[in-house]
Structure 1
Amino acid sequence: MYEQTYPNKRFKHTIQFLKKHVSNSESILDLGVQNPFSKIMIAHGYTVENTKGEDLDENTTNIANSKADVVTAFEIFEHLLSPYTVLKEIKANKIVASIPLKLWFSSAYRSKTDQWDRHYHEFEDWQFDWLLEKTGWKIIDRQKWTNPTKKIGIRPILRWFTPRYYMVYAERTK
């Protein structure tokens, strides 16, 4: 059987998790501009619309007006000052979201060249769960995985067994 290759491990885990919880008949609003993973979802038969690059801390109009069945948010909430506001604004009854986990041995990511490519939040799993619950979501399924590198050093060794990514499937409760 042919197995699709992906540019990174995260994409393989993400599409498997998405297929487990979201059927191709459900439309998706993917938070963030179109990206390589948006194209992977489309290649797997999903109907995907992305937000337009607006600052979601300031403008949630596209989220509020969306008629999508499902919202996906892959590595987006850590960039927002107020993910609470965005989560409350979602009208869909299902969400699939992933975040990079806070690592005790590594500080929060901050690009030196791109002012938008920074992590305001790096959550622990329980913090993200609490945020979802507080904004009216019930977590149905969750998954964590590591992100090993082929570099040498203490941190690369820790990345072999310390989970880096956390993904949830949740449904609206209120």
Structure 2
Amino acid sequence: MYETNYPNKRFKHTIQFLEKHISHSEKILDLGVVNPFTKIMQKHGYDVINTKGEDLDINTSTIENSNVDVTTAFEIFEHLLSPFTVLQSIKTSKLVASVPLNLWFSSAYRSKTDMLDRHYHEFEDWQFDWLLEKAGWKILDREKWTNPTKKIGIRPMLRWFTPRYYIVYAERI
């Protein structure tokens, strides 16, 4: 049932993990603006709404006032100065979230052209687990995967063996 032409491995793993834990009858608030993965979730039968692009470090009203069953956050927490505040503001009892993992052989991502497209945090799995637990979430499932490239070199070779993405399913304690 899964398309073989996903833009990348991350989307394939993410939708499989989401379908493992979240029913298609549950309404989802996806943190972040509408993006290519929003369309993939909708194509797979999910009812998804997104936040509107507000600065979630400052304004969590959309999260607090949403009437949904599940919150998803795919590669957004690394862009926030205070992901703890956002995690605490979530009113749903279910959370599916993914983050890029810190790679010891590569510096944190920072766009040279977009001031907002930067990673303030690239987590190790235990750091993200601790953040979630401290914000009142219990992790019930987790997965990691690599992000290989077809480039030549030492760092591209390391990407074949070193996990880059980490996804969790958690419920409010």
Shift of 1:5: 2.2
What's 2:118 paired with? 118
Q: Which amino acid is 1:140 matched to?
A: L
Shift of 1:3: 3.9
What's 2:16 paired with? 16
What's 2:36 paired with? 36
1-structure distance, mates of 2:3, 2:100: 26
Shift of 1:4: 4.2
SS at match of 1:52: coil
TM alignment of 1:53-92, pairs within 5 A: 53-92=53-92
1-structure distance, mates of 2:2, 2:138: 35
Normalised by the length of structure 1, the TM-score is 0.98
Change (3 A) 1:2 1:162: closer
Change (3 A) 1:2 1:74: closer
2-structure distance, mates of 1:74, 1:24: 18
Q: How many residues align?
A: 173
What's 1:159 paired with? 159
SS at match of 1:151: coil
Q: Which amino acid is 2:54 matched to?
A: E
Q: Which amino acid is 1:14 matched to?
A: T
Q: Which amino acid is 1:68 matched to?
A: V
2-structure distance, mates of 1:35, 1:67: 21
- Spell out, residue by residue over 1:57-107, the C-alpha distance to the aligned partner (whole angstroms, 9 max, x if none): 010000000111000000000000000000000000000000000000000
What is the alpha-carbon root mean square deviation over aligned residues? 0.9
2-structure distance, mates of 1:93, 1:123: 23
- Spell out, residue by residue over 1:25-44, the C-alpha distance to the aligned partner (whole angstroms, 9 max, x if none): 00000000000000000000
Q: Sequence identity of aligned pairs in percent?
A: 80
1-structure distance, mates of 2:30, 2:128: 18
Shift of 1:163: 0.1
Retained in 1: the 8 A contact 2:2–2:12?
Answer: no
2-structure distance, mates of 1:91, 1:107: 34
Normalised by the length of structure 2, the TM-score is 0.98
What's 1:93 paired with? 93
SS at match of 1:164: strand
Matched, 1:103 2:103: yes
Long gaps (5+) in structure 2: none
What's 2:129 paired with? 129
Q: Which amino acid is 2:86 matched to?
A: V
Q: Which amino acid is 2:9 matched to?
A: K
Divergent runs of 4+, >6 A = none
